[in-house]
Amino acid sequence: MVGIVGYGSYLPRYRIKVEDIANQWGRDPDVIKKGLLVNEKTVPGTDEDTITISVEAGRNALKRAGINPKLIGSVYVGSESHPYAVKPSGTVVAEALGITPEVHIADFEFACKAGTEAMWVVYNEVKSGELQYGLAIGTDTSQGAPGGALEYTASAGGTAFIFGKENLVAEVIETYSYTTDTPDFWRREGAYYPRHGGRFTGEPAYFKHVYNAGIGVLKKANLKPQDFTYAVFHMPNGKFPQTIGKKLGFTKKQLVPGWIVPYMGNTYSGSSPTGLSATFDVSKPGDLILIVSFGSGAGSDAFVFKVTERIDEVRDLAPKLKEMLDENKIYLDYGKYAKFREKIIMNE
């Protein structure tokens, strides 16, 4: 059996409400909120980035795994906001977590599914017997241009998973990946903000890939939506995961624990992994959980997990996602938000 032995998330404490962004740009807040089904989003502190979030999420995963960090053989950080263009995020993360030096490290990038890319590779490395444990992290301090549609949702946070073969919290039952060349969202080298293809990001991109990955993994695992307790789909906004969940045959109830986007926005590479973390927090032994990511460009990774009895032992060893969503929040106005996200041009 191969699966997750420890999981952990991290969210910044700062928030901005969607109405504060809408008011800034002369838009109707109620129309925006109803359209996106997002109320507020997380904002990274001035001293937070993909590396700091990865370290905090990784520490929480280690607390739940209860293993010697030196036994981790791979560290992969999936993100589209790595602080360096050249120099890996993973080296800082692995050093901070006490994993170095006998470890293989790489940074992954595949728009919003870089996190599940990392999970996919680590899972297969452990399954092949090459590693005893591997660490996969999905995280972002997402970019969205001022006044653009993404500014309402682009948020910060991340989740780490340690894969192994013993003392599992959740076993991997099946995996499936579906990928085509679809230019729905991109950021060119040197560009500060990403661009997207408007409505083209929906049907031929998100819905096509998530649907086919979902159908594919259900068929491969010989399971039906009714067999699952919970399902998590990538959350670019509140509506997309609900729409695709319904199309695949899942009920709203099955999506509830992992449908975190109204309260924290879209954490890009951290989105579906953090939804999975929130779902583990409330799951019971024996629960089947489906997760399907989506990365523009475009592709989806699907995993079917079966939760083990160890979930009850480890759940409280690190902060749960609901606590991070609800506690110690600090709200920013748009001016402070613009300063925090370095949207104001300063003299060098």
- Residues serving a catalytic function are 80, 112, 234
Residue closer to other proteins by CB (options 146, 204) is: 146
- Cα 122 to Cα 132: distance, rounded to the nearest angstrom: 10
Q: Is 83 in the site for other proteins (CB under 8 A)?
A: yes
Q: Is 70 in the site for other proteins (CB under 8 A)?
A: no
Q: Is 92 in the site for other proteins (CB under 8 A)?
A: yes
Q: Is 246 in the site for other proteins (CB under 8 A)?
A: no
Which of 225-233, 284-292, 303-311, 334-342 is the region at the interface with other proteins (rule: CB under 8 A)?
Answer: 334-342
Among positions 13-32, residues that touch other proteins (CB under 8 A) are: 13-14
Q: Is 189 in the site for other proteins (CB under 8 A)?
A: no
Half-sphere exposure of 219 (CA within 13 A, CB side): 9
- Cα 79 to Cα 246: distance, rounded to the nearest angstrom: 28
- Cα 213 to Cα 324: distance, rounded to the nearest angstrom: 30
> Tokens 């241009």 appear where?
145
Sheet holding 40-43, edge to edge: 40-43, 14-17, 330-331
Q: Is 197 in the site for other proteins (CB under 8 A)?
A: no
Minimum Å gap between C-beta 95 and other proteins is 6
Kindly report the number of other CB atoms within 10 A of residue 312's CB atom: 13
Residue closer to other proteins by CB (options 207, 331) is: 331
Q: Among 45, 66, 88, 204, which residue interacts with other proteins (rule: CB under 8 A)? A: 45
Minimum Å gap between C-beta 326 and other proteins is 16
Among positions 270-309, residues that touch other proteins (CB under 8 A) are: none
Q: Is 340 in the site for other proteins (CB under 8 A)?
A: yes
Point out which residues bind other proteins (CB under 8 A).
12-14, 45-49, 51-52, 55-56, 59, 83-84, 92, 95-96, 98, 328, 330, 339-340, 342, 346, 348
